[in-house]
């Protein structure tokens, strides 16, 4: 029987991506944090199948939970490519629980991987803003800056080398006459 977190173990708060769910006390690995709930939609009914919102949680190819109801605090859990929680889907019971897969410290944002379909449809066009992707982008930008600095340094070195050649050529001239060249006498 999994351990169930108390109702005071999380709070809704401001996150980098909007609102998020944050731990208010330590949550141990394997603990059920919260249940994702809302009206159950049947994909065989056209009116229910045409609903479009970001809070739909697909149980299987027939049943979907519409998590857009305000009482569903689990809808505030954001995506992460390196999550600290996961969804425990139970299609026969038509329930979804969010369970910790790592120990979560107070103040940490609770997040899970939304899956490839959701990622491709909603997150990829705007760019994933999870901490691991932000760190990757930050590292990539730093590498690009370093590469641009190297290219700029090479160009500056070429300019310096070219200007030193022209200075050396100017020094060879003496009073407007080229040194080292023989003149033809008329």
**pLDDT tens string 66-119:** 999 989 999 999 988 889 999 999 988 999 999 999 999 999 999 998 888 888
Strand order, beta sheet including 63-66 = 40-42, 63-66, 56-58
- Give 110: exposed, middle or buried? Use CB within 10 Å, 0-12, 13-18, 19+: buried
pLDDT level of residue 186 (50, 70, 90 thresholds): low
């Amino acid at each position: 029987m999994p351990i169930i977190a108390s109702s005071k173990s999380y709070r809704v708060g401001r996150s980098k991506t909007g609102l998020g769910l944050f731990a208010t006390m330590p949550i141990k690995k394997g603990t059920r944090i919260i249940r994702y709930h809302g009206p159950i939609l049947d994909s065989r009914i056209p009116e229910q199948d045409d609903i479009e919102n970001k809070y739909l949680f697909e149980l299987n190819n027939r049943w979907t939970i519409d998590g857009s109801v305000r009482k569903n605090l689990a809808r505030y859990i954001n995506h992460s490519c390196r999550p600290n929680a996961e969804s425990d889907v139970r299609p026969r019971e038509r329930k979804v629980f969010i369970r910790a897969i790592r120990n979560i410290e107070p103040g940490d944002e609770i997040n899970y991987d939304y899956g490839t379909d959701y990622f491709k449809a909603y997150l990829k066009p705007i760019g994933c803003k999870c901490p691991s992707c932000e760190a990757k982008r930050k590292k990539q930008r730093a590498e690009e800056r370093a590469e641009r600095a190297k290219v700029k340094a090479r160009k500056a070195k070429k300019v310096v080398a070219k200007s030193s050649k022209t200075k050396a050529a100017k020094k060879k001239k003496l009073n407007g006459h080229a040194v080292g060249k023989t003149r033809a006498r008329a």
